[in-house]
Structure 1
Amino acid sequence: MSQKIKLALLTGVVVLLTGLLLFSQQYWQLDLADLNLTKHVTTEYKQLALFKGVTLLGKTLFLVVLGFLLGNESKLRYAKAVKLWGLTIITSAVLQVVALYLNNDFSISELYNSLLPLLRNTYPLASGVVVGLCCLKKVDEYLLKLSWRQLIIVLIVATGLPSIFGQDPFAMNDGNGLTFGLVMFLFGAIVARKKVWLQTKRCLILATIMGASYLLINYWMPYISYDVHGNYSTAGRFLNSGALPAVLFAVFMGMGILPFLGSLARTWKLRLADFAYLGLICATNSSSLLPILKRHFEKNSTAPQVMLLIIAELGGLALGTLMLAVLARTAVNKRLEEQWLGYDLIDVLDSLKSKVLENKRYLLGILGAVVLSYSSFFFVTPNLELTIGKTTHDIGEYILFARPMMIWLNVLIIIALWGIIFGLTNRYWVSTLGVAISMLVLFVTENIKVGIRNEPILPSEIVMLKAINELLHMATTPVLVGGAVGLGLGISLIVYMERKYPQPIIKWMTRLILVAVSCLFFSSSLFLNHSKGKMHIVSLALGNDPTFYNQLLGAQQNGPLLQFLDNVDTQVMEKPADYSQAKMAELANKYNALAQKLNQTRTNNWQDQSIIFSLSESFADPNRVPGVSLAHNPIKQIQGIMAKNTSGLMLSSGYGGGTANIEYMSLTGLTVANFSATLPTPYTQLVPFQKQAWSFNQLFAKSAAIHPYEGVFYSRPTTYKKFGFERFYHLGSKYKITDQETIDRSPYLDDKTAFANTLRVLKERGNGQFINLVSMQNHFPYDKGYYDGTKKYRATGSAVTDETTADMIADFATGLSYTDKAVANFIKQIDKLNRPVTIVFYGDHLPGIYSGNNMKKDGVVLHETDYFIYSNKYARKQGAKTKLVKATGLVAPNDFPAMVAEQTNSKVNGYLALLTKVKDELPAMSTNPKMNATNNYNTMVSFVTKQGKILKPEQLTKQQQELYHDYQLVQYDMTAGKQYLLKNKDFSK
C-alpha cells in the first residue's frame, strides 16, 4: 500500500473519529432525543439506543488512535505534554471568549477551569492524554514487556470491573474519567511501539464481534432491566463508551488497522494529533459550547442539523491545526524540544528552576504588585473594619478569603501601568520603583481623603491637578517637607539601583507589544459600565461591584485602583440628533413664552416663602401591596392629610433602594430613565463632574439639606455643594443634628428628630428658604425586631408567605406609625408659623420585603409610594392652593418642582414651565417598573398611566412625543451638552 493511500486512510480515520467524538459529546447532552424509558420499550428508543451506541464506539477508538499518533514521542514526552497543556489553556480560553461573544455568558468558575485545566480536572480525557505522555517511558519499562494477551487481560481488569460488578474502583466514570483517557491513550501508544502485532484479520473479526455484542447488549438491556427490577432503571447501564465491549472493540480495531499506518512521517502524525487533541478539548468543553448549541437547536432539532455544526467545528479545528503547524516551525518550538529532549522529571524541575532564577526580577516585581494590591485595601479602610449592611468584617481577612480575585485585578492594573512605563523607558528600576513609589503616594493620598471626606479618589478629581499650586498652598508645612524628602529619597534610590544593579534591556518589538497590551487593558475601563457589553459581563462575573451609591464601600470591596477605573466609563445620555445651539435657543424662547403666559395668573415669588421637600425613607402604605393586609392602619393621620390636600401616588424608579436617584429627580426635575445605561447613580457619577448643575434650591436665597445620618453616602457633600446648598446638616458635620432621639432598639434617629431639626432651621433662617430633608427612620433592615408592639400591625394575606415576611412587614409598619405621628405633629407646628410654608412629603421607594409578590405581575404597584403637598394656613392666605386637581393621581418625583410651583401659585421660569407641561400632558416617567433593580443599570424609559398601564415612547400621541423630545433635549443640554440653557436667565433662573 502506497504512502499516499496510508496517509489518506489515517487522515480519514482521525477526522471521522473526531467528528464522532464531537457528536457523541455534544448531541447527547442537548436533550434533543429522549432516551428515558418509563412505560414500555418503543421502536424509536431502540433505534436511538443503537444510534448512540455507534457514536460512542467512535469515542473509545478515538483515544486509542490519539495514543497511536503520539506513542513514539517518548524522547519529547515532557515537551509535548507542556505544549498540550498550554494548548488546553489557550483553547479553553478561546472557547470561553466564543461563549461570551455568542451567549453573553461568563463565570469566574469557568475562568478557573480554563486557567487550571489539570488541577480542576476540567478536561478529564485530555488530562489523561497529557499524563499519558509523561508516562511513555514507563511504557517501555513495563508494559512493552507484556504479551498482547497479558495486555488485554490487564485492560479487561482495569476497564471491565464497572461493567461486570457495577462498581468503578479506578474512576473510569463511564468512559469520561481521567483514568479512562490515560488507559486508552497508553494502549494506543503500545500499538505504536510494540514490534510484534496480532494478525489483522483476527483483530478485525474480534472487533466486529465486540462491536456487535456492545450494540446487542444495549438493544436487550431494557428487557433485562424490566425482568430483573420490574422497571427500566438499568436500561442504559452499558450505553457508554467505557463499557467493556466498547473498550475491546476499540482495542481490537486499533490493533487491526493502525500497525499498517505506522510508517507514516512523524510530522504528519503530529499534525493529526494536534487536530485530534483540539477536537477532544472542544468536545469535552460542554460548559462553554453547550449553551451556544442550545441556543441554535430546539427540542425537535434533528441529528443532521447538529452534524452541520460539527462539520463547521471540524473546519475550525483544521484551521487551528494549520496555525499550530506554522508555530511548530518557530525557534521557540525547536528550543523547547532541544532543552527538554529526553529529560526526566528531575531534569524538568531543574530546568524550571533555572527559568525562575533567570526571570526572578519579573517574578519579584509581580510579588511586589501583589503586596501593593493587598495593602491598598487597608489604606481606604482606616479602622481596618469593613461594614456591609449590619455585618462587620476584618478587612484583611475579608479581602483575602472572600474577594481574592479583587487582589489579582488590582495586580493587573499595577502591572499594566508598569508595562507602559517599562515599554517606554526600557529601564527596569525606573519603572518598577517608580510605580511602587507612585502607588504608595496614591494610597497615602487615598487614606487622607477617606479620613476627610469618607470617599476615595475619583476620576473627576484629576482635573484638580490643573490647580496644583492652590493644592500645595492648602497643604501644611510638615506634609510639604515630608513629601519633598520622600520624593528626593525615591529618586535617589532609583538612580542608585540603575547604576549599581543595571538590568538587561528588552527588544523594541517586545516593548511595543508591552505598551500596546497595557494600553488595551486600560482602555477596557471605557466599557466597564456598558450593561450589555462583554467587558461588563466579564467584570461582574469576576466579582467587581462598583457600589456607585457608596464609593467608599466600593473602594473597600474592590480596591481603590479598580474603583477608580469603574468610574471612568460614564456616558451621561445619548445625544439627540437635532441638538444644537440654535435648537436650544428655539426651545428657550418657546418655554420662556409659556412661562410668561403662566405667570399672568401667578402672584407669588419664591423669595417670599419657604419650601420643604421631605423624602421619607421607604414610606409606602403596605395595605396597597397586593396580597398584604394589616390588622390596623399605621398611617391614618397622613391619609387624612392626603384626603384634604394635593396627594396621590409617586412612581419610584427604585425598589428596596435607590434613595439618591429619587432625590436627584425631585431636586432637578430630570428623570434618571433618560440617562445612559452607564449612569446608574447621578449623585456620584454625574453631578460632581458638571460645570453647572441646576437644582430647585437655586431659586431661593437660602437653602439647606438635612439628613439625620452619616453624610458620606451617595457623595452628598460634593453633590449638595455643586447644587448650591449653603448648609448640610448631618451626623459629624459642623451643622449639628440636635434633639436626637431613637425609638426602642432602632439605631436610626427617628422622624421626630428629623422634623425637629427642620423646624429649627426653618425658624432660624427666616423666610425665602428651601430645605431638603432626607429621613432615615424606616431604613432597612426590618428583621432585627427594632420596635415594640409590632403585633398590632400583623400582616396577613396571600403574599405573606412565611413568618419572617410577616414579622418584617409588621416591624416596618410599626415604624410607619411613628412617622404618621411625627408628620401630623409637624403639620401642626408649621401651621403656627406666620409665614408661607409648603411641604412636599413623599416616600422614595418600597422596602424590599414583599418576597411573596411577582415583580412582573405587581411591578407597577411595587413602585408606587405615597405623597402629599401641604401649604400651611399662612401660605393659603397668600394664594396657595389646597388641592391641585390636574394630573396628580400618579406622578413622578421629577414632577414635584412644577407641582409645588402650581400649588403655591408661584411664578416660574422657562424650565419650570416645561416641567409643568410635562407634568400635565405626559404620563409619569420611570425606569422599567417590572424590574426591581436598584442603583443598577437604567432601562429604556417607561411611561405609566394613572391606570397602571405601561407605555413605550412610540405609544404616545404625536403631540406627547414632541413634548417628550423637547424634554430629552433639555435634559441632554443641562447634563451632557453645552449647557446653553443654563446661560439663559429667563429659562433657568
Structure 2
Amino acid sequence: MLRYIRKNINTILIISLLVGASLLNVSQYNDVLTGVYLLVVEMGIVFCLGILKASINIKSVLIISIINLAFINFNIRSNAYLLNVLFLSCVAWYVLTRLLIKNKYIFLILYVIGVSGIFLLDKAWIDLDLFVVLFYPIYLVGYMSRESSTYGNLKQDLLIGISIPINAFILDKISRLEDVFSSGKGVLVLNILTNDVKTSLVALFVYIYSAIVAMSVGYLLYRLLGVIVKRGKQASSLHSRTFRKNVVLNLNTTLILITLIAYSGDCILKNQLIYDIAKFFDMRQLINMLVLIVINMLLISLIGANLGRLLFYFFSCAFLIANFIKLKYFDEPFYPWDIYLIKDAYMIGARYIDYRIMIFMAIAIVLSLLIIIKFRKKIMLLFMPKPDFVMIMLSVIVTGCSIYYLSYTKSLVDLGLGKSWYIGKQDTLQNGIFLENYFLMSDYKNYLADKPEEYSKEKIDNIVNKLNNHKEVEVLSDIDTKPNVVLIMSESFWDPTRLNGVKFDKDIMGNIRANEKGNILSPVFGGGTANVEFEALTGLSNYFTSPGVMPYNVYLRRTTPSIATVFDRNDYETIAIHPNDGTFYNRDKVYKYFGFKKFIDIEGFDKNNDCKGTNVSDDKLVDKILKQLNDGDRPKFIFAVTMQNHDPYYKEYDKLEVNTYSDKLNETELSVISNYASGIYDADQAFGRLISSLKECGRPTLVYYFGDHLPRLGSPAGNYDVYNALNYFKDKERIEADINSYTTPLAAWSNYKSISNIEPIISPAQLSLHILKESKVSYPVYFNILDEVRKTHPYLQNHINSRNIQNEEAVKDYKLIQYDLLFGDQYLSKN
C-alpha cells in the first residue's frame, strides 16, 4: 500500500485537493465571487491532473467506476452526488485521453465542443451536469502543456505571470455582471439551463477567463516546482512539433489583446483617451469581444496561425484608427462603405494630422519595407498560408453559434442591443463599434441599394403622368436671351453672429445678409461636402441612403441626370469649378456623369500665389468664375465649390481680417472663431465683388450662394468646443438631432429680376428645382416631385425626419424616382 502511495503520490495529492475543493463547492453559498474562486481552483487542479499525466491502472478504473456508480443513486437527491460525478469524470478523462491522444486534433475538437456547449445548452430542456464536458478541455491542455513546458523558457513564464493578474481582474469584473451559478448546486453546474441570454453570455466568458487563469497558475506552479519529467515513448506519440507550442501563452495573449482592442474601440467611441476600465465591462462589450474572438478564429483557421494573427491585429488597428479619424473630424463612426474613401484618406488626413506624425509614419513604412525585402524568405516561410480544415470546421461551429445569438432578436433585446434603420453614432454607442459593423455588413445590400417592391416601368410611368398635371413653367423661347446661372456652394459657410456671447469688430456678412433669401438644411454637419453637392445638383436626397454613405463614392458609376444635364440640353455650357484635387470624392468622374462638360480643379489655379492660408482664396475663385462667364457667347451654368474656409481654423491666418471678443472662450477657442470669422468675411467680400461685377454685365445672370454645412469649431481637432462653450445647442447630448446643427444661409441675386424669399427652410435638393424654374429652362417632369414633397416636407434629413413618412405617397414616389435614376433602368431618362 505504501509502495503504491509513493509511486502515485502526485496523483493522490491532486485528486485529494480536487475532492477538498469540491466538498467546499457542495456547501451552499450566496457570494458569486466565492463561486468564481472555487471554479478557478477546481479548473487549476484539473489542469494539474492533466499536466502530471496521473496514471490509473485498469483495476483502479473498474473499482472507482463501480463504487461511484453505486453511490450516485443514493446521493442523487443531494449535492453530494457531484463528488461521484467528479470521480467518474477523472476516470473517463484518463481513459478517453489514452485512447484518442494520438489524434493531434483531439484538443481542438473537444475544446470547441466544450465551449460550444455553453452556447447551446441554455436552449436545451435537459438537466445536464456540465462538469464532464466543460472541464475536459482544461485537462487536455494540461496534458499537452507538459510537452510544451519541457521547451518553455523564462521569457514565456514571465509573460504568463504578467497575464494572470490581468485576466483575473477581467474575470472579477465579468463575474459581477450576472449570477452564473445554479442556486444550491455550486460551480460544478453552471447556471445556463435557462432562457436567460445574459446569464449564458456571462457564463461563457466566466468559463473562458476562469480556465485561462487556472491553467496559467497551474502551468507556472508546475514549472516553478520543477516537476518536469523526461519525455518517454508516450510523449513521442503526441506529435511534439505541434504540442511544443505554448498553448497557455497563446490563449493568454489572444484574450488580453482582444480585450484591449475592444476597450480601445470604446475609448475612441466615447472620445476619451482612457477611462476607468472597471466600468468597461457590460453585456455590450462581451458581445463585441465575442465578435472579435470569432473573427480571430476564422482567420487562423483559413490562413494559419501566424498569418491569421498578423492580419487580425493589423486590420483591428487599422479599423480603430479609421474610427478615430472619422469620429474626430466628422463625428461619425467608420462604416463598411467608407472603404471607398480609402484613396482620399491621405488628402483628408493631411489637413489635420501633424506633419511630424506623417514623417514618422513614412519612415516606419519605409523601414518595414526594407526589413521585409531583406528577410523576405524567412518572412514568407513564417507567414505562409496554412489552412487547417479541421479548425475551419470547428470555427464554423463557433461562428454559427455566435451568429445565432446575434441574429436572434429576443436575445439582442434582452441584452439592450439590436439593429435599427437609423445608422449613426447613437446606434454605434448602443451596440459597440464591432457589433454595429457586423450588423451593417450582414445587411450591406439593404443599406446600399434597397430596391422598392413597387419598382417597375409601369409604376414610374404612373408617377410621370401624375407629375404632368403640374402647372407648366414658362420656358424661354429660342429668341430670348438665356441667363447665366451661377451656383456657389461655400465651404463651411454659416452665420457665426448666431452665437451668443461673442462679438466681432465688423459686419462680417453684410453682402450675404443684404441678399439672403432663406436657409438650407444641410444633410451633414462639419464635413461630407459631396453629400450636399449630390442633393443640390440632382434633386435627390440623402434621406433615402444610410448616414455615412457617400453617393459620389459608393453609388455613382454611370451617367446620372442632374441640373447640369438639364442645362446642357438647353444649350448651356456646363462648368464645374473646385480648387482642390479633382479626384477627391471622385469628382473628376462624377461631374462627367452629371453632364458637366468642363471641370476646373486645383490644376487650374496657381497654387503658389492664389492661396490665402492653406487653400485657394474665395477671391481667386471669383476671378475664375468671371473669366468663364466672359468667355464666349453661349449661356453658362457654373457650379463652384469654395475651399478657403475649410477647417482646421486654429492659427490659420498670419493676419486676421476680423477681431473677436468673448469672455466665455479661452485663448485657443478665440483663435478658432477669429480665424473662422475672417474666412467668412473674405467669403462675403468675394460674393459682393462678384455681384458688383455682374451688375453691368450684358447678359442676364442668376447667382445662388449657400453654405454646405456648419463648421467644426474646435481645436486642435474638436467639433463642438466653441459651440459648447457658448451653449449654442439646445441639448448637448443630442446635437445630431438639433436642427441648428444643419441650418446654413441661402442668398440669391439677379441683375434682371427680383427673386422672392424661399420659405420655410429647404433641403439642397429643393434648391435644384427652384433654380430650374427661375432660369426658365425646359426640365424633366420628374423634378416636380420636389413640389409634391415640399407641401408637407420642405426638407428630408436623416437625423431630423422620422422614417415613418416613407409610407406617404409623395415620399414613396420620390424614393422610386431616386432608385430608378441611381440603380434602376433609368426609365425617367428615356421618357
* TM-score interval, normalised by the smaller of the two chains: 0.5 to 0.7
Cα gap change, 1:655/1:57 in structure 2, threshold over 3 Å: closer, same or farther? closer
Match of 2:746 in 1: 867
Match of 1:638 in 2: 512
SS at 2:506 equivalent: coil
Whether the 8 Å CA contact 2:147–2:243 is kept in 1: the answer is no
Tell me the CA shift for residue 711 of structure 1.
1.4
SS at 1:825 equivalent: helix
Match of 2:461 in 1: 585
- Looking at structure 2, the residues matched to 667 and 577 of structure 1 have their Cα atoms a distance apart, in angstroms, of 27
1:704 paired with 2:578, answer no
Cα gap change, 1:668/1:288 in structure 2, threshold over 3 Å: closer, same or farther? farther
2:765 to 894, 899, 905: 894
Tell me the CA shift for residue 178 of structure 1.
3.9
1:717 paired with 2:717, answer no
- TM-score normalised by structure 2 residue count: 0.56
Whether the 8 Å CA contact 1:572–1:675 is kept in 2: the answer is yes
- Looking at structure 2, the residues matched to 779 and 651 of structure 1 have their Cα atoms a distance apart, in angstroms, of 19
1:617 to 482, 491, 499: 491
SS at 2:631 equivalent: helix
Tell me the CA shift for residue 581 of structure 1.
1.3
> Identity, % of aligned pairs?
20
Tell me the CA shift for residue 972 of structure 1.
1.6
Cα gap change, 1:314/1:825 in structure 2, threshold over 3 Å: closer, same or farther? closer
Instruction: Report the AA paired with residue 391 of structure 1.
Output: D
Tell me the CA shift for residue 869 of structure 1.
1.8
Cα gap change, 1:978/1:171 in structure 2, threshold over 3 Å: closer, same or farther? closer
2:816 to 947, 953, 969: 969
Whether the 8 Å CA contact 1:707–1:729 is kept in 2: the answer is yes
Q: Counterparts of 1:924-963 in structure 2 under 5 Å?
A: 924-928=795-799, 942-943=800-801, 952=802, 954=804, 961-963=808-810
Whether the 8 Å CA contact 2:50–2:140 is kept in 1: the answer is no
Tell me the CA shift for residue 909 of structure 1.
3.1
SS at 2:744 equivalent: strand
- State the Cα deviation string for residues 488-514 of structure 1 (Å, max 9, x = none): xxxxxxxxxxxxxxxxxx9xx879979
1:690 paired with 2:558, answer yes
SS at 2:507 equivalent: coil
Whether the 8 Å CA contact 1:127–1:178 is kept in 2: the answer is no
Moved more, 896-905 or 568-577: 568-577
Tell me the CA shift for residue 769 of structure 1.
2.2
Match of 1:760 in 2: 627
Instruction: Report the AA paired with residue 749 of structure 2.
Output: Y
1:653 to 512, 523, 536: 523
Whether the 8 Å CA contact 1:740–1:749 is kept in 2: the answer is no
- Looking at structure 1, the residues matched to 791 and 684 of structure 2 have their Cα atoms a distance apart, in angstroms, of 30
SS at 2:525 equivalent: coil
- Looking at structure 1, the residues matched to 793 and 241 of structure 2 have their Cα atoms a distance apart, in angstroms, of 74
- State the Cα deviation string for residues 379-426 of structure 1 (Å, max 9, x = none): 9899999846353424555569999xxxxxxxxxx99x998xx99xxx
SS at 1:593 equivalent: coil
SS at 1:807 equivalent: helix
Tell me the CA shift for residue 978 of structure 1.
2.2
- Looking at structure 2, the residues matched to 654 and 602 of structure 1 have their Cα atoms a distance apart, in angstroms, of 34
1:809 to 659, 673, 676: 673
- Looking at structure 2, the residues matched to 818 and 315 of structure 1 have their Cα atoms a distance apart, in angstroms, of 59
- Looking at structure 2, the residues matched to 819 and 778 of structure 1 have their Cα atoms a distance apart, in angstroms, of 8
Cα gap change, 1:97/1:751 in structure 2, threshold over 3 Å: closer, same or farther? farther
Tell me the CA shift for residue 897 of structure 1.
1.6
Tell me the CA shift for residue 889 of structure 1.
3.5
Whether the 8 Å CA contact 2:147–2:244 is kept in 1: the answer is no
Tell me the CA shift for residue 969 of structure 1.
1.7
- Looking at structure 1, the residues matched to 144 and 395 of structure 2 have their Cα atoms a distance apart, in angstroms, of 38
Tell me the CA shift for residue 313 of structure 1.
4.3
Match of 1:492 in 2: none
Which runs of 5 or more residues in structure 2 are unaligned? Answer: 1-14, 56-93, 121-136, 150-157, 181-189, 212-229, 248-299, 319-338, 370-379, 404-418, 714-719
- State the Cα deviation string for residues 199-237 of structure 1 (Å, max 9, x = none): xxxxxxxxxxxxxxxxxxxxxxxxxxxxxxxxxxxxxxx
- Looking at structure 2, the residues matched to 89 and 722 of structure 1 have their Cα atoms a distance apart, in angstroms, of 56
- Looking at structure 1, the residues matched to 232 and 437 of structure 2 have their Cα atoms a distance apart, in angstroms, of 41
- Looking at structure 1, the residues matched to 496 and 709 of structure 2 have their Cα atoms a distance apart, in angstroms, of 12
Whether the 8 Å CA contact 2:488–2:705 is kept in 1: the answer is yes
Whether the 8 Å CA contact 2:192–2:199 is kept in 1: the answer is no
Match of 2:712 in 1: 848
Cα gap change, 1:535/1:809 in structure 2, threshold over 3 Å: closer, same or farther? closer
- Looking at structure 1, the residues matched to 795 and 656 of structure 2 have their Cα atoms a distance apart, in angstroms, of 37
Cα gap change, 1:690/1:739 in structure 2, threshold over 3 Å: closer, same or farther? closer
- TM-score normalised by structure 1 residue count: 0.48
- Looking at structure 2, the residues matched to 402 and 537 of structure 1 have their Cα atoms a distance apart, in angstroms, of 38
Cα gap change, 1:94/1:897 in structure 2, threshold over 3 Å: closer, same or farther? farther
- Looking at structure 1, the residues matched to 192 and 47 of structure 2 have their Cα atoms a distance apart, in angstroms, of 30
Instruction: Report the AA paired with residue 837 of structure 1.
Output: T
SS at 1:579 equivalent: coil
Whether the 8 Å CA contact 2:820–2:827 is kept in 1: the answer is yes
Instruction: Report the AA paired with residue 619 of structure 1.
Output: F
- Looking at structure 1, the residues matched to 579 and 464 of structure 2 have their Cα atoms a distance apart, in angstroms, of 39
Report the count of equivalent residues: 581
1:910 paired with 2:789, answer no
Match of 2:700 in 1: 836
Instruction: Report the AA paired with residue 531 of structure 2.
Output: N
- Looking at structure 2, the residues matched to 973 and 97 of structure 1 have their Cα atoms a distance apart, in angstroms, of 45
Instruction: Report the AA paired with residue 609 of structure 1.
Output: P
Cα gap change, 1:922/1:803 in structure 2, threshold over 3 Å: closer, same or farther? same
Q: Counterparts of 1:466-545 in structure 2 under 5 Å?
A: 541=434
SS at 2:796 equivalent: strand
Match of 1:433 in 2: none
1:883 paired with 2:755, answer yes
Whether the 8 Å CA contact 1:19–1:314 is kept in 2: the answer is no
Whichever of the two has the greater Rg, that structure is 1
Whether the 8 Å CA contact 1:738–1:753 is kept in 2: the answer is no
1:389 paired with 2:352, answer yes
- State the Cα deviation string for residues 129-169 of structure 1 (Å, max 9, x = none): 9799968999xxxxxxxxxxxxxxxxxxxxxxxxxxxxxxx
SS at 1:709 equivalent: coil
Whether the 8 Å CA contact 1:650–1:866 is kept in 2: the answer is yes
- State the Cα deviation string for residues 658-687 of structure 1 (Å, max 9, x = none): 11100111000011111245x610011111
Whether the 8 Å CA contact 1:617–1:774 is kept in 2: the answer is yes
2:688 to 824, 827, 842: 824
- State the Cα deviation string for residues 343-362 of structure 1 (Å, max 9, x = none): 59x9967964999xxx9xx8
- Looking at structure 1, the residues matched to 164 and 818 of structure 2 have their Cα atoms a distance apart, in angstroms, of 61
Whether the 8 Å CA contact 1:74–1:342 is kept in 2: the answer is no
Tell me the CA shift for residue 539 of structure 1.
11
- Looking at structure 1, the residues matched to 391 and 51 of structure 2 have their Cα atoms a distance apart, in angstroms, of 38
Tell me the CA shift for residue 598 of structure 1.
2.3
Instruction: Report the AA paired with residue 553 of structure 2.
Output: T
Cα gap change, 1:625/1:381 in structure 2, threshold over 3 Å: closer, same or farther? closer
Q: Counterparts of 1:171-320 in structure 2 under 5 Å?
A: 178=164, 285=171, 313=200
Cα gap change, 1:89/1:738 in structure 2, threshold over 3 Å: closer, same or farther? farther
Whether the 8 Å CA contact 1:708–1:731 is kept in 2: the answer is yes
Tell me the CA shift for residue 615 of structure 1.
0.7
Instruction: Tell me how large the CA RMSD over aligned residues is.
Output: 6.4
Cα gap change, 1:699/1:310 in structure 2, threshold over 3 Å: closer, same or farther? closer
Whether the 8 Å CA contact 2:48–2:139 is kept in 1: the answer is no
Which runs of 5 or more residues in structure 1 are unaligned? Answer: 1-6, 24-50, 99-125, 139-169, 182-279, 295-303, 325-337, 404-413, 424-505, 546-564, 877-881, 929-941, 944-951, 985-989
- State the Cα deviation string for residues 673-729 of structure 1 (Å, max 9, x = none): 11245x610011111x23544444443232111111221210110111111211110
- Looking at structure 1, the residues matched to 811 and 233 of structure 2 have their Cα atoms a distance apart, in angstroms, of 74
Instruction: Report the AA paired with residue 845 of structure 1.
Output: H
Cα gap change, 1:763/1:340 in structure 2, threshold over 3 Å: closer, same or farther? farther
